[in-house]
Amino acid sequence: MGSVVRECDNDAAPAEIYTENHSYILARGGAGGRGNHFYLSNEARGPVTSETGGVGEVKELIIEMKIAAHVGG
């Protein structure tokens, strides 16, 4: 909690984590490809064919923690 996510190129802050279990999608992943299980059949018990998926987003981010430590007493 208390973390801020900033983009490296323009210093925008698209997300800030306020509470526990809070989540935010910062970049989308690519579409999944078809693996060996898709090509499996009775004739081809161990296929070696696969298909790669789509390309996802690539972002460079800075995660800044606002609160470094909690002190109890």
CB atoms within 10 A of CB 50: 13
**What's the pTM value of the predicted model, to 2 decimals?**
0.49
Going by pLDDT thresholds of 50, 70 and 90, the confidence category of residue 62 is confident
* Average pLDDT estimate for 6-19: 79
Please say whether the dihedral angle defined by the alpha carbons of residues 27, 7, 15 and 5, taken in this order, is positive or negative.
positive
Above 70 in pLDDT, residue 71?
no
